[in-house]
Amino acid sequence: MAARPGRWLWTCRIGFEPHLYEELAWAGAEPRVLGEALVESEGKQGLVLAFARQSFRVLASFPGAAPELAPAMAQAVAALPASAPIVLQAFTPDTPRGNALAAEADALRETVRGLLPANRLLEDTDRARETGAQLVSLCVAPGAVTVGVVPAREALSLAPGGRRRMKRAGESPSRAAMKLEEALDGLPFEPGRGDVCVDLGAAPGGWTQRLVSRGAKVIAVDPARLMPELASNPRVRHVQESAFAFAPEEPVDWLFCDMAWRPLEVAQLLAKWGRRGWASHLVANIKLPMNDKNPILLRVRHTLTEDGGWKGLTVRQLYHDRDEVTVTAHRR
């Protein structure tokens, strides 16, 4: 099914279309599932949804990625106001059938790029927000290419299709560590030298290890064992007990939480930390193994903000998240 021009196209993790659909329906945005990992809707200014990885306003749809369609695609892009530079990206839905089109998507992007005036293109994606660029995406799905645009400053992600891969060449970090890296990447500042962090549900220690490598001191709370190299690290204190029994001796800078536990109970625990002013910043991964995820998320949000006083709450299923979402917030 092709996305209709003027509507918005959203992409999500495969299997999460019903949850994204429900969020859009709750917002009155008249959603329609187009296929695996793709949902379209009416435009709603400023909509930030937990289960969306990327979204854009649809400019045009095409029946495939054949090179002869590229001039019409370039024409749709060139018709955008010339006042802002263009960052041109291509992505496929993150599904087995979509990923098989990755090479075709790259080739199409290069062809369309070659048809656009070079002086309208911005190559450095990292500068997209500061330059007020427009993020133009070619979404190459089985049987349909959708061309769309979103101002980079409003984009959910600057990574094509919202796939923010945190693995660097030559590294083999745990998935848990990559979840943390991706969460920190979205924050305006990060824990650093001298900061005190509490890590609830810390074992085996992927998050703790990343925090220590940034120069932070970590109180790692988990009944399970930490990796030996962390257990003997002078900047790590392992408190081998339940997070529900733990209280810090004094307020800390950051509260991290990746506990494998029931989301509403975890939210109540994080709310207690907020109410008591025990931490200034929060990064937590909330597990959502149940089918009906949105009603639980609504209660989690309410608990953190109304009961816990956490501010600036973000709730997003990050690229490295599976049946879970990552929340960030601060106290002031």
Ligand X SMILES: C[S@@+](CC[C@H](N)C(=O)[O-])C[C@H]1O[C@@H](n2cnc3c(N)ncnc32)[C@H](O)[C@@H]1O
User: CA-based Rg of the chain, rounded to a whole angstrom?
Assistant: 21
Comparison of 222 and 321: residue with beta carbon closer to ligand X: 222
User: Which residue of this chain has its Cβ atom nearest to ligand X in the complex?
Assistant: 206
Stretch near ligand X under the rule CB under 6 A, chosen from 23-31, 87-95, 236-244, 273-281: 236-244
Pairing outcome for strands 279-287 and 252-257: parallel
Q: What is the per-residue binding string for ligand X in 170-189, x denoting contact by CB under 6 A?
A: ------xx------------
Neighbours of 39 (CB within 10 A): 28
Q: Which of 201, 263, 274, 308 binds ligand X (CB under 6 A)?
A: 201
Structure tokens at 32: 């329609």
Contact assessment for residue 115 and residue 74, using Cβ atoms and an 8 Å cutoff: yes
224 belongs to the binding site for ligand X (CB under 6 A): yes
Of 261 and 278, nearer to ligand X (C-beta) is 261
- Residue from 206, 263, 274, 308 touching ligand X (CB under 6 A): that is 206
Near ligand X by CB under 6 A: residue from 37, 243, 300, 318: 243
E strands along the chain, which residues? Answer: 8-11, 32-35, 38-41, 54-62, 86-91, 134-141, 144-151, 196-200, 217-221, 236-239, 252-257, 279-287, 311-316, 324-330
Candidates 167, 179, 272, 287; catalytic one = 287
CA 107, CA 273: separation in Å to the nearest integer?
50
Would residue 287 show up in a list of annotated catalytic residues for this protein? yes
Q: Please, what is the minimum distance in Å from the beta carbon of residue 224 to ligand X?
A: 4
Residues of this chain that interact with ligand X (CB under 6 A) are: 176-177, 200-207, 221-224, 242-244, 258-261
> Which residues are designated catalytic?
287
